[in-house]
Amino acid sequence: MQRRDFFKKAAVVAGATALGAYTAEAGTTKQPIDDQKLAEVAFPEKRPLIMYSDRPPLLETPRGIFTSTLTPNDLFFVRWHMPDIPTFIDLATHTIHVNGLVNKELHLTINDLKTKFEQVEITAVLQCGGNSRSAFVPVAGGIQWGSGAMGCAVWKGVRLRDVLEAAGLQKDAEWIGFNGKETAAYYETPNFIRELHLDELDDKIILAYEMNGEDLPYLNGYPLRLVIPGYYSDSWVKMLSNITVTKEYEKLFFMDMAYRVPDNECECETPEKEFPRTKPITKMNVKSVIGYPTKESVVNHGSHVVVRGVAFDGGHGIKEVLVSLDGGKKWNQATLDAGEAGNYAFRTFRYSFKPTMFGELTIMTKAINNAAEVQPFAKDIKWNHGGYKYNGIDEVTVKVI
């Protein structure tokens, strides 16, 4: 797959507030980003997505897409950390190196993975740890994502466990490090490397080369990415090129400084003072997002309106989704799909009603998972400096005419 001019082909297709002006505004706004107007840009292999940056590419899926279990590849969000991403990868020669505390170093091509290992699939949500960050009050640091830094896909590849067994782990092996092809523009910037402890390894963790029945899109990690169902996307290393097994935990910037929350029961702190101990974000919490209607929707008084959206968590599975039309005083049960995609996937919901009043109407949804964890009200969300793991009850306000 030759894409030498890949990043030169992006085109703005819908004008809006300039990114620089918007970024400045985000420092003071309390309005969620997906309720504001940003430029939508069409990158290669993608339909127009909400753009925060073109280098590295930061693209958000519009809210209206979240009404089905699977997110189309060309509408799937994009999140890179480093500005230098290879514009040419030769599939025939791209090699994944497995080294460190192994009995036999492996140098595997994508074809090796497809022909020498059992092929497996899993349907799972990929979500940035900063998804919905713009809803934090006061504003937390980082990209001010709306609700669309997430998606769900069928991932196909091979089990990480099978690859490690082929290499043979030495008795002192404790940690597995993963590195991809993205690099920093400045030589002193640390590489993006993630580590897993062997205790975290299970058969659901795969090395994926397909997404929804197609090769991984270039911007979503072509030709291979790590898939860890239930975990936030910072651990899902893209353009995977190296797997290193070690005895000791390697101190790394993106493990030790970034993508961390306070290590206390509420995972919270105050804007004035950071909590001294932190821990990495791993498992996703319970969340629902309304896909229809959106804030642009105008509905007729007395018409039949069907609220649709998705709910998910870190793997317990969704038990129910509730809908409120009166500010959270009364909650009604939505209808869930059969859940055939599994506990790591989006679970779609729908709820029908007829508007009985004119003017603005706010629709609220909250999800409850099988562990009895409940999506909280926004006012009850505990704050952290990184703006991670926001999962407040979702709201959309529409006009009834």
pLDDT digits (tens, 9 = 90+) for 232-243: 999 999 999 999
Provide the pLDDT for residue 330: 98
Model confidence at 170, in pLDDT bands (50, 70, 90)?
very high
Task: Place 6 in a pLDDT band, splitting at 50, 70 and 90.
Answer: low
pLDDT band at 142 (very low <50, low <70, confident <90, very high): very high
pLDDT digits (tens, 9 = 90+) for 8-24: 566 655 433 323 222 22
Separation between Cα atoms, residue 393 and residue 380, nearest integer Å: 10
The region of weakest confidence among 30-44, 63-77, 333-347, 372-386 is 30-44
d(Cα 178, Cα 240) in Å, to the nearest integer? 7
Extract the tokens encoding 316: 């317990």
pLDDT recorded at residue 84: 82
Statement: residue 55 has pLDDT above 90: no
pLDDT of residue 15: 38
Is 75:61 a contact under the CB 8 Å cutoff?
Answer: yes
Q: Which of 71-85, 186-200, 268-282, 375-389 has the lowest mean pLDDT?
A: 186-200
pLDDT value of residue 38: 77
pLDDT exceeds 90 at position 2 = no
pLDDT at 27 over 80: no
What is the fold, at CATH topology level, of the domain defined by 287-400? Immunoglobulin-like (2.60.40)
Q: Is the pLDDT of residue 207 over 70?
A: yes
**Statement: the pTM of the whole predicted model exceeds 0.75:** yes
Query: CATH assignment of 96-134+144-280, given 3.90.420.10, 3.50.50.60, 3.10.310.30, 3.40.50.1100?
Result: 3.90.420.10
pLDDT at 190: 60
- Give the model's pLDDT for residue 322: 99
User: Across residues 52-64, what is the average pLDDT?
Assistant: 95
- Average pLDDT for 75-79: 97
Share of the chain above pLDDT 90, in %: 80
**CATH 2.60.40.650 occupies which residues in the chain?**
287-400
pLDDT at 193: 79
Measure the CA–CA gap between 238 and 216, rounded to whole angstroms: 10
**How many Cα atoms within 13 Å fall on the side-chain side of residue 37?**
6
Integer Cα distance of 77 and 107 in angstroms? 30
Q: Which of 347, 369, 345 is nearest to 124 (CA)?
A: 345
Q: In whole angstroms, how large is the CA radius of gyration of the chain?
A: 21
**DSSP single-letter state for residue 325:** S
Residue type, 134: S
Distance in angstroms (rounded) separating the CA atoms of residues 16 and 84: 26
The Cα 218–Cα 10 span in angstroms is 13
Q: Are 351 and 293 in contact (CB under 8 A)?
A: no
As a whole number of angstroms, the distance between CA 211 and CA 217 comes to 8
User: What is the percent of the chain with per-residue pLDDT over 70, rounded to a whole number?
Assistant: 87
pLDDT of 383 > 90? The answer is: yes
What residue ranges of the chain are covered by domains with CATH 3.90.420.10?
Answer: 96-134+144-280
Tell me the mean pLDDT in the region 245-252: 86
